[in-house]
Amino acid sequence: FGINTMITATTNQYAIVNNSNSKEQQQLYCQHHHHQRHRRRFFSMLSLLPIAFAIYISATRLVDNSHFPVDVVGGAAIGYASAVFAHNLWFLPA
């Protein structure tokens, strides 16, 4: 979408319709879009924390010799299958 197209962005106090080329509306739209992009990036990075934690736990289990590598790979497969199943329950594939 370009700046001249009909774009509606709502925030706490206002609704913007970028239908004209006024500088204030363009700046306000760009600030809102910039904030939204950083927010998506933050939540994308935040979603990697459970994966990093699982890798850390599995690595420490292997280093401490408390599990065999087959156990760790099997647990990862079970976790992945459970995640796919739960995701497909809530977000039906097309």
Please list the pLDDT of the chain residue by residue as tens digits (94 residues).
444 444 444 444 444 444 555 666 666 666 666 667 777 788 888 888 988 999 999 999 999 988 899 999 999 999 999 989 998 888 876 6
Contact 80, 66 (CB under 8 A): no
Residue in 6, 59, 56, 9 with CA at minimum distance from that of residue 29: 9
Other C-beta atoms closer than 10 Å to the C-beta of 85 total 9
The per-residue pLDDT for 18 is: 44
The per-residue pLDDT for 58 is: 92
Residue in 18, 25, 21, 35 with CA at minimum distance from that of residue 8: 18
Angle at 48 between CA 46 and CA 51, to 5 degrees: 140
The per-residue pLDDT for 32 is: 62
The per-residue pLDDT for 13 is: 43
